[in-house]
């Protein structure tokens, strides 16, 4: 079409497109209000609105109800057919949507995905597990149509008791419950210990999935500072227990906390138990990363020193063995009966087939071998990732190398806004978890969590270098 024959709104859309292309409005940034746009081009608001609607159809802008128009991410040239807009980091400040928004960062157009807290799929023993599953089904096809036979159940529970003993836990078979990942275990424990409106102490920064769980149960989070050096601050917790609102329970991750990677020293673990006892606070211990220790010794769970039944211990195989199995377990001590009843109204039972395979890998010693291989790879990847971050990120960036787990917490100078950085990074196909996702309050805006669960390839090195450059110009 002859450009001079274009309607006025298309001229305005073209002018805006040029400004979007020039980077004047980076992806995610707010665009001029409709009125301001109309004034700028000397047209009425309907014409300005038509320009935005046209750009919306072209997927160059996003409309957010009551917030206005925002620059969209550029479409990836490799996937011309995909119409859905990519996630917008701005939504991450909203607790109820941050989890789903972060999950959307798994969009295949994002070629370097560093926002998750799990190892790359290629690091898990997929072929070996596929063979095991096939073998199990060939030998026991009845598992498809039956509950777990009692003998198999005892075998799995006995294996979990042995695993617990290796961690210093005194367990018995009747005190263990299988759950759908650790998430279900924590949720059951919270349902048992609290009522809607109650306050639960959590670490801050905190794994956003926990905030989501609390929100779903109508609970309030009391965020207690946690440092990469020593984990939960006992001084801050003690102060909060004395002066803050009544706390029903504490959820904490003493071993390789997410996102800081902190490992709580054993002395602090013992002091934490004494503090909880003094204030009558039950602790829900999340030990999802404990098996991913880089050094020789596995860190001891809090539960190992719990003489009074103050700890509900929750563990999982999702990070250390097979994410898709979703197999978790818990040892709740005196709370066992109540949790067993809640469990019956929740998952009822975990998959018999997967439980038999888990019993096999535990019995055969294969779990120990598989998790050892995984954590050696993770240790090397973490070192390479931390080195790259320190080399390329702005001066003053702090990283404390964790001793286990799959994530690296990066504290940039206060001038860096990691949500804005994420918008720029997404536009270049790189994701990470921005600091604001890890608190219900507007904190940690200068921090980011980078996944180190992926093999450190030249492409990954280049992506981290690029992130560093973007942070320098942020």
Alpha-carbon gap, residue 16 to 24, rounded angstroms: 10
Residue 318: CB minimum distance to ligand PLP, A: 4
The smaller minimum CB distance to ligand PLP, of residues 182 and 241, is found at: 182
Closest distance to ligand PLP from the beta carbon of 215 (Å): 15
Instruction: Please identify, among the stretches 3-11, 137-145, 177-185, 458-466, the one whose residues bind ligand PLP according to the rule CB under 6 A.
Output: 177-185
β-sheet bridge partners, residue 433: 449
Q: Which residue is nearest to ligand PLP (CB)?
A: 181
Nearest approach in angstroms of CB 181 to ligand PLP is 3
Q: In 3-state terms, what secondary structure has residue 47?
A: helix
Q: Which two tokens stand for residue 229?
A: 């050096």
Q: Does 451 bind ligand PLP (CB under 6 A)?
A: no
Span interacting with ligand PLP, options 83-91, 94-102, 180-188, 304-312, rule CB under 6 A: 180-188
- Please, which residue, 260 or 423, has the CB nearer to ligand PLP? 260
- State yes or no: residue 181 binds ligand PLP (CB under 6 A): yes
Nearer to ligand PLP, 72 or 287 (CB): 287
| Helix, coil or strand: residue 329 | strand
Among 117, 202, 430, 463, binds ligand PLP (CB under 6 A): 117
Could you tell me where the DSSP H helices lie in 167-299? 181-193, 208-216, 234-243, 266-279
Q: Single out the residue of 318, 371, 377, 385 in contact with ligand PLP (rule: CB under 6 A).
A: 318
For residues 51 and 82, is the Cβ–Cβ distance under 8 A?
A: no
Which of residues 213, 316, 350, 397 is near ligand PLP by CB under 6 A?
Answer: 316
Half-sphere exposure of 408 (CA within 13 A, CB side): 28
φ and ψ at residue 127, rounded to 5 degrees:
-65, -40
| Contact in structure between 17 and 55 (CB atoms under 8 Å) | yes
Rounded-to-10 torsion of CA 149, 151, 155, 158: 110
Q: Are 124 and 374 in contact (CB under 8 A)?
A: yes
HSE of 48 in the Cβ direction (CA atoms, 13 Å)? 17
Indicate if the alpha-carbon torsion angle 315, 431, 92, 50 is positive or negative. Answer: negative
Mapped onto helix, strand or coil, the DSSP state of residue 39 is helix
Three-state DSSP class for 361?
helix
CB 283 within 8 A of CB 248: no
The answer to the question of residue 328 lying near ligand PLP (CB under 6 A) is yes
Interface with ligand PLP: number of residues (CB under 6 A): 13
DSSP label of 26: -
Select from 181-189, 224-232, 363-371, 378-386 the region that touches ligand PLP (CB under 6 A).
181-189
Determine the interface stretch with ligand PLP among 176-184, 217-225, 300-308, 389-397 (rule: CB under 6 A): 176-184
Q: How far is the CB of 396 from ligand PLP (least distance, A)?
A: 27
Interacting stretch for ligand PLP, rule CB under 6 A, among 24-32, 51-59, 175-183, 435-443? 175-183
CB of 180 to ligand PLP, least distance (A): 7
Pairing relation of β-strands 327-331 and 176-180? antiparallel
- The least CB distance from residue 183 to ligand PLP, in Å, is 3
Which residues inside 242-301 make contact with ligand PLP, applying CB under 6 A? 253, 258, 286, 288
Of 74, 125, 209, 394, the one binding ligand PLP by CB under 6 A: 209
The residues of the shown chain that bind ligand PLP, judged by CB under 6 A, are 117, 181-183, 207, 209, 253, 258, 286, 288, 316, 318, 328
């Amino acid at each position: 079409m002859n450009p001079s024959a274009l309607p006025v709104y298309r001229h305005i859309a073209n002018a805006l497109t040029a400004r979007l292309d020039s980077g004047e409005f980076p992806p995610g940034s707010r665009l001029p209000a409709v009125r301001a746009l109309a004034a700028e081009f000397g047209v009425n608001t309907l014409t300005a609105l038509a320009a935005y609607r046209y750009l919306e159809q072209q997927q160059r802008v996003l409309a957010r109800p009551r917030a206005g128009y925002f620059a969209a991410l550029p479409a990836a040239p490799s996937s011309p057919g995909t119409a859905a807009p990519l996630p917008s980091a701005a939504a991450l400040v909203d607790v109820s949507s941050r989890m789903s928004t972060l999950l959307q960062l798994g969009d295949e157009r994002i070629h370097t995905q560093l926002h998750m807290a799990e190892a790359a799929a290629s690091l898990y023993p997929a072929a070996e597990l596929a063979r095991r599953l096939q073998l199990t089904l060939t030998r026991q096809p009845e598992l498809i149509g039956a509950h777990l036979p009692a003998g198999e159940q005892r075998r799995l529970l006995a294996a979990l008791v042995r695993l617990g003993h290796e961690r210093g836990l005194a367990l018995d078979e009747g005190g263990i419950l299988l759950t759908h990942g650790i998430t279900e275990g924590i949720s059951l424990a919270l349902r048992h210990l609290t009522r809607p409106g109650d306050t639960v102490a959590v670490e801050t920064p905190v794994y956003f999935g926990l905030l989501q769980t609390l929100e779903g149960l109508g609970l309030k989070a009391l965020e207690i500072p946690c440092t990469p050096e020593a984990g939960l601050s006992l001084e801050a917790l003690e102060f909060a227990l004395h002066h803050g609102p009544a706390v029903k329970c504490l959820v904490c991750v003493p071993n390789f906390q997410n996102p800081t990677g902190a490992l709580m020293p054993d002395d602090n673990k013992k002091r934490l138990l004494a503090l909880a006892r003094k204030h009558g606070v039950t602790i829900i211990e999340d030990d999802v990363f404990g098996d991913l220790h880089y050094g020789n010794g596995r860190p001891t769970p809090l539960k190992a020193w719990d003489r009074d039944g103050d700890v509900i211990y929750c563990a999982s195989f999702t990070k250390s063995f097979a994410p898709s199995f979703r197999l978790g377990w818990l040892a709740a001590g005196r709370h066992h009966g109540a949790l067993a009843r809640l469990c019956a109204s929740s998952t009822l039972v975990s998959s018999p087939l997967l439980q038999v395979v888990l019993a096999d890998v535990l019995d055969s010693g294969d779990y120990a071998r598989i998790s050892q291989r995984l954590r050696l790879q993770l240790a090397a990847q973490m070192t390479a990732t931390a080195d790259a971050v320190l080399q390329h990120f702005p001066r003053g960036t702090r990283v404390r190398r964790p001793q286990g787990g799959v994530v690296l917490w990066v504290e940039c100078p206060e001038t860096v806004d990691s949500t804005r950085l994420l918008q720029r990074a997404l536009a270049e196909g790189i994701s990470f978890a921005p600091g604001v996702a890890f608190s219900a309050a507007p904190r940690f805006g200068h921090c980011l969590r980078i996944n180190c669960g992926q093999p450190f390839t030249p492409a990954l090195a280049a992506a981290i270098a690029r992130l560093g450059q973007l942070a320098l110009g942020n």
